[in-house]
Structure 1
Amino acid sequence: MAELKGNDENVVFVGDKPVMNYVQAVVTQIGEGAEEVVLKARGRAISGAVDVAEVLRNRFLQDLSIESIETGTEKLEGESGTVNVSTISISLGRR
């Protein structure tokens, strides 16, 4: 199961902001010398994480490759009980 918790500084948590905000965050981390950056998202933000990875690979950093993709499920407590939410973790690295 993919965990979205952690303090790793090379992790970008994708949410509901515009895709380009996350693209800029990854470009900044790579520019500062990070060898690998991990995009993490859950629920409806998963498609945004995929968009970020594709925009990065096709328009900004052509030498960036997808190292791994992990999917999972997280249990969240809500007002109506426990809800299962899908998660994704996309590791991007230089070729």
Structure 2
Amino acid sequence: MSEEEFRESGGRNTVFIGRQKPVMSYVLTTLTCLNNSPDVILKARGAAISLAVDVAQITIHRFAPGLRVADIKLGTEQLQSEEGGTRNVSSIEIRLTYPPEGQGEAAKA
């Protein structure tokens, strides 16, 4: 997947995680997406992968206890380097969603 495809593959419920903003900025964006949709996808590449995991964990444990990790996709993308060659960059997609009624923690007890 090229960089253009990566950016275009996001929908309204997709948050692209980078290294430019503080983690709480991405958490707020994630919560805003969850107000409009029952699920949200966090996407990150390279060094931002650990930040995406932090965003998911902070969102779940501090702000949305009913939220669950529905799916995690890992991948490697080949990008053009500045020297003209290609380089491999790891990527992650984390899908967060609320479980259907009756399938949350209370149903397990």
Q: Which runs of 4+ in 1 moved over 2 A?
A: none
- Residue 60 of structure 2 is aligned to residue 66 of structure 1: no
Higher Cα Rg, which structure: 2
Helix, strand or coil for the counterpart of 1:4? helix
Q: Once the two structures are superposed, what CA deviation does each residue of 1:17-54 show, in whole Å capped at 9, x if it has no partner? A: 1110110001111123x011000000000000000000
Q: Give me the whole-angstrom Cα distance separating, in 2, the residues matched to 1:92 and 1:41.
A: 14
Q: Which amino acid aligns with 2:72?
A: I
The question of 1:90 aligning with 2:76 is answered no
Structure 1 counterpart of 2:30, which letter?
A: V
Judging by fraction of residues, say which structure has more helix.
2
Match of 2:27 among 23, 26, 31: 23
**Which residue in 2 is equivalent to 1:55?**
58
- 2:9 is the alignment partner of 1:10: no
- The two structures, once aligned, show a CA RMSD in angstroms of 1.4
Shift of 1:82: 0.3
Structure 1: 5+ residue stretches without partners: none
Write the distance in 1 (CA, Å) between the matches of 2:60 and 2:66: 7
Using the aligned pairs only, state the percent identity.
47
After TM superposition, the score normalised by the length of structure 1 is: 0.92
Residue 47 of structure 1 aligns to a residue in which SS? helix
Higher-RCO chain (CA-CA 8 Å, sequence separation at least 6): 1
Cα distance between partner residues in 2 of 1:4 and 1:89:
11
Unpaired segments ≥5 residues, structure 2: 100-109
Counterparts of 1:51 and 1:7, CA distance in 2:
20
Higher strand share: 1
Residue 49 of structure 2 is matched in structure 1 by 46
